[in-house]
Amino acid sequence: MSATTLLPLQQDSIVVRFGRWLRRDIRGALSLAFLLLLIVVALLAPWIAPYSPTEQDYANMLAEPSARHWLGTDDLGRDVFSRLIHGTASSLYAAFLAVGVAVLVGVPVGLVAGFMGGWVDLAISRCIDTLLSFPAIVLAVAVTGAMGIGLTNAMLAVGLVFSPQLARLVRARTLVVRQELYVDAARCFGASLPRLLLKHVLPNAIQPVLVQATLLLAVALLAEASLNFLGLGVQPPDVSWGMMIARGYMYMEIAPAQMYVPGLAILLTAIAFNTLGESLRVALDPTLRGR
Amino acid sequence: MNEKPNPRLTANGFAISRRNFLGLIGSTAAAGMLGFPGQLIARRRGTLIVGAPADPSSLDPATGGAGTDHVFLYPIFDTLVEWDYATLAPRPGLAKAWHYPDPRTLVLTLQENVRFHDGTPFDAEAVKFNLERNLRDPRSNIRTELASVESVAVTGPLEVTLKLKEPDTVLVLILSDRAGMMASPKALQELGERHDRSPVGTGPMRFVDWSDGEKVVLTRNEHYWKPNRPLVDGIEFRIITDSATRLRSVISGQADVAYHLDGRQIPLIERSRQLQLVTGPTIYCYQLYLNMSRGPLQDVRVRQALNFAIDREAFVKATMAGAGEPAYMNLPRSHWAYDEEVAKLYPYDPDRARALLKEAGFSNGVELDMRGYSDQGSVQRQEFLLEQFAQVGIRGRFRTGTIPEMSATYFGPEKGGDFLLSAFTGRPDPSQTYALMYLEDAYFNAGRVPPPPGFLEALLRSRSTTDIEERRQALSVVQRIVMENALVVPLAFRNEVSAASARVENMRSNLLGKPKFEDVSLQDT
Amino acid sequence: MLTRKKLGMIASRLLQALPIAVLATFVVYSLMQLIPGDIAVTLAGENASDERIAEIRELYRLNQPFLVQYGSWLWNAVQGDLGVSLLTREPVAETIARTYPTTLLIVAYAIVLSVVIGVPLGILAASRPGSLLDSGIMSIASLGVTVPNFWFGMILALWLALGLNLFPATGFASPGDGLGTALWYATLPALALCTNGIAEVSRQLRSSLVEIQSSQFVRTLHAKGLSPASILWKHGLKNVGVNLLTVISLLFNKTLAATVVVEAVFAIPGIGSAIVNAVLQGDFPVVQGAVLAMVATVIVVNLVTDVLYTVLDPRIEQA
């Protein structure tokens, strides 16, 4: 065989591979469908929701589900179903914002640490270890407190809290990739550092990040709920699922449905994120197939 | 039987009204005491376990600062003056009598045979020590309460004479609060700062232990000076900040009493066979503190619009489950200084609100910077108000934060926000309330705006006369000025809501809203 | 077994960990300084006035520059003095001594539950890999990762405590009051916390076991006639043990973090509630001290785990 026949293996187009994966992995497909549905709901909320999320009705507080109010009303007589729909946007925004921040902060830091090595790596690794040894929620509370209460700030804080995990992951991958022959080869040919990072290291490091990020979406959602419970979440009159649980806690014995409904919403969404993450992990790493 | 005990400020001896006397007989009978004349034997059954909503800031009356501390302090410290549970009229305490020989002199005659928990005698020297400490110690938070006191003199083993800089009849009721709580001078001198966590008073309970955020343990004072008190072996306060959890601890039998519950929980309490609902009006008032030095709130019409825009009845119904009283001024209906006419100034009238805003130049509505606290209860109130305001064109969002943060931001040097949704816990004497909120240099007057003309004269009048009718009239003038100028937006008075297990007897609410347990006893189960 | 080499390793690890601990407190301190609000206002309380607040700032030396305050805290901390709470004057060391064991008891209880429930589940799933039983158990297990702990705790409180009266709904009893009582109070919180652990433990165990079963070496032994049990015992256990240990030590950190919110649900006076309250109030000595305690614990747990690794499998090289 001559060297010219060492061509890259013929690969199916990405669409075909995606279709194959969908057909094979039912759970993954379902999760994806569910999440897409949520995104649609979030975008179309003002048109889908039967009532305004802030419209109060003092004659009808904590009402049972009925034809007029499918999931009943809450403590100020607002329609629970409408609030659930409007809360979708906040919850999705919260999860994606947190993970987005984690990726934007964690990946570059990990790349730099892994690639540069030496004392840069040492310093960054120490910082990462420090942040990782904190109980996450305490850090989130402190950062939120420092930045001011509000959903955006809270999720920025959560994102910062998550970033060390991703940094560590990326760093480990970078260390491995750095030793690959072809990277040295490219270096010999005079490729610059950023180019090396972007073109060779990043694509290889990205896969575990993608998986981890998807799994973190579920954790971010739970973190948002927890922070709301501690009083550090959305500001009135905004609504989010976590905030609905926190309010429901006040009425737990009188009207437990207030607590069940948003909790189930969070649970289902978290399951969807998680399942998707697991599917991605299996799909991207062929050695795990046929487990 | 319908007489209100006359709150005369010159008490000569024990002025107990007929109603109270019969009440006392009734309660002693209920506690199962044997009725030998002059010898009543009390039954004691264990420790009263109480679910408390907040950790004390300090167990020393002078160095603490939270309105929630008092419940812990009352069992440990007696006050010089006490008050009637229903009307807050003054009654004898450690000072069994007092009088004003002239407007600038107050003479206190003290109770005999009282000892502090450490055995030292309670006498005029002790009172002088305490009052001077309250006035001078750098750590004392209550110096301003005694600001009118020029000197304290011991004029007899059980007599103290206070010389005042100006006439001050408010002083009597001030001595029913922190400033009148008497701690052992010996303990204060020996312990210094540690007295904050190791208090020594004359009260029915002695201090045992304080685990921060967890519990405060008190035990019976065997040598308490009031006959047949206390009626329990001890009190253990368990600190459970969340009201739902606090009530649950009583439902499940882990605690005997839970206080400062929420109106929402009343159906739960009534539903349960084993619980008693103890409730009653208080002077704790939800209100909007206004910063009148900035923005649209400088215009009185805007402030009046705020007052007209709110349906206070709905507020009580929606956010307090009906356990409250709409507030149209700083005092509730049952208070001795309440003025009916002032209360009629601001009925719910959204049209009037819109008209006033238009008059003030805001025909397209007005945007306000609103501040509030971040706990769920507060957020619920904020959501309610936002809806009400939206109906008349008042727009804005609430910026929330923790209580220390928001209070510091709004009242502190930063002066952030047009108004703050918060509450005023109330003071024993109404003129204190008005002074604390509306005087030019008052801390709660965030904008430091001087009060309208006539306010100061009326306030001073209310402090310099001892006649109750004259005081009431002066205070009416004060109140009218406050409300006509819309210096505040009062929302509602909260009812005290407490739950007690079936074992508990004689738990009563009081108008101050800070529960006392001095008459409480426990039955056999 | 405590060779000089091992001791040296432990010592060097501790030394490496020191800057982390200090850095952690510095990070926290900086954050606390950024938090708006002024603890002096809280201390002044109902009778606040501008003068009073300024006085309090002087009194408690809150006016000193950033680094000076941190520096003096650090200097004292190194000598063993963690200061006192700005709000209640309770010595921080006492606060920690009072609240930390509470939290640790619940965390330990939760981890024990995770292992006790997770291990059998993992073994069961691995006994028939690929079957409906396997995927069924794994699905239920993964539910454990996604359920919000505090919400689950609320549901447990509603059903088991208030509904069936099986456990107390709130509060905590220390082991001093009787171990049985302490465990009874700690059961619901521990149950609320262990969901994550059950998932991780069972998953990890299952995949380790499946890996062992399908490895070439084991297949050979099997062909030779050794029973699955003895194969597992003799050869699989180390591998399984190491993986399990990893999971448990990671679990510790996560569970410790999760207790914070669960403590709020059950009104437990643990270190989590203490920290959150202190952060929100601006009581920084308490925050510093408590964070130091938690970080130190995590470091110690990691260290112990590493030592146990070498015990389980001497082949593992220690860097």
Q: Which of B160, B161, B179 is nearest to B170 (CA)?
A: B179
Of residues C125 and A253, more confidence is placed in C125
Q: Read off the amino acid at residue B104.
A: R
Choose the closest CB to C269 out of B213, B404, B405.
B213
How would DSSP label each residue in C102-132? HHHHHHHHHHHHHHHHHHHHHHHHHHSTTSH
Residue C297's closest CA among C252, C258, C261, C259?
C252
We find that the CATH architecture of domain B285-494 is: Roll (3.10)
Q: How far apart are CA C194 and CA C113, in angstroms?
A: 6
Residues in chain C with CB shorter than 8 Å from the CB of A165 are none
- Residue B387 scores a pLDDT above 50: yes
Task: Collect all residues with Cβ–Cβ distance below 8 Å to B91 and sequence separation of at least 6.
Answer: B11, B15, B81, B82, B83, B84
d(CA B336, CA B430): 10
Give Cβ neighbours of residue B2 (< 8 Å, ≥ 6 apart).
none
CB pairs under 8 A between A and C: 131
Which among B15, B168, B67 has a CA at the least distance from the CA of B514?
Answer: B67
Task: Judge whether A102 is closer than 8 Å to chain C, CB to CB.
Answer: no
Q: For residue B115, give the DSSP letter.
A: B
Give C298's pLDDT tier (boundaries 50, 70, 90).
confident
Going from the C-alpha of B57 to that of each of A24, B425, C16, C55, C143, the distances in angstroms are 62, 16, 40, 18, 43
CA dihedral A116, A118, A123, A128 (to 10 degrees): 60
pLDDT tens, residue by residue, C206-217: 888 877 777 766
Of C130, C256, C280, the CB nearest to A135: C256
Q: A135 touching C, CB under 8 A?
A: yes
Average pLDDT, chain B: 87
What is the rounded distance in angstroms from the CA atom of residue B164 to the CA atom of residue B152? 9
Secondary structure class of B62 (helix, strand, coil) = coil
Q: Which residue in chain A has the smallest CA separation from B388?
A: A56
**Taking the CB of residue B471, how many other CB atoms lie within 10 A of it?**
24
Q: Lowest-pLDDT range, A204-208, B176-180, C141-145?
A: A204-208
The region of weakest confidence among A83-92, B89-98, C129-138 is C129-138
Q: What is the pLDDT of residue B199?
A: 96
Measured between alpha carbons, how far is residue B243 from residues A120, A251, A269, B250, B262 in Å? 51, 11, 30, 11, 7
| A231/B383 Cβ within 8 A | no
Q: What is the mean pLDDT of the segment spanning A266-287?
A: 83
The values of phi and psi at residue C237, to 5°, are: -60, -40
- Say which of B317, B318, B376 has its CB closest to residue A250: B376
Enclosing H/E stretch for A51: none
CB B515 within 8 A of CB B233: no
**C151 inside 8 A of chain A by CB:** yes
Q: Does A107 touch chain B (CB under 8 A)?
A: no
Give how far B443 is from chain C: nearest CA, Å.
5
- Per 3-state DSSP, chain B is made up of helix, strand and coil in percentages (nearest 5) of 35, 25, 45
Domain boundaries, chain B: 285-494
User: How large is the ipTM?
Assistant: 0.82
Closest CA–CA distance from residue A64 to any residue of chain B (Å) = 16
Q: What is the CB-side half-sphere exposure of residue A95 using CA atoms within 13 A?
A: 27
| CB proximity C300 to A under 8 Å | no
For residue B379, give the chain A residue with the closest CA.
A236
- Asked whether the beta carbons of residue B268 and residue A149 sit closer than 8 angstroms, the reply is no
A88 vs C: CB within 8 A: no
Is B149 within 8 Å of B131 (Cβ atoms)? yes
Q: B253: pLDDT confidence band, cut at 50, 70 and 90?
A: confident
**Global pTM value:** 0.81
pLDDT of residue A85: 94
Higher per-residue pLDDT: B119 or B6: B119
C-alpha closest to that of B176 among B520, B499, B512: B512
CA atoms of B315 and B237, how far apart (whole Å): 32
C212 touches chain A (CB under 8 A): no
pLDDT of residue B369: 94
Counting residues of chain A whose pLDDT is more than 90, the rounded percentage is 22
Nearest chain C alpha carbon to B52: C267
Asked if B498 has any chain A CB less than 8 Å from its own CB, the reply is no
Asked if C154 has any chain B CB less than 8 Å from its own CB, the reply is no
**A residues 4-23 closer than 8 Å to C (CB):** none
Q: Is residue A28's pLDDT more than 90?
A: no
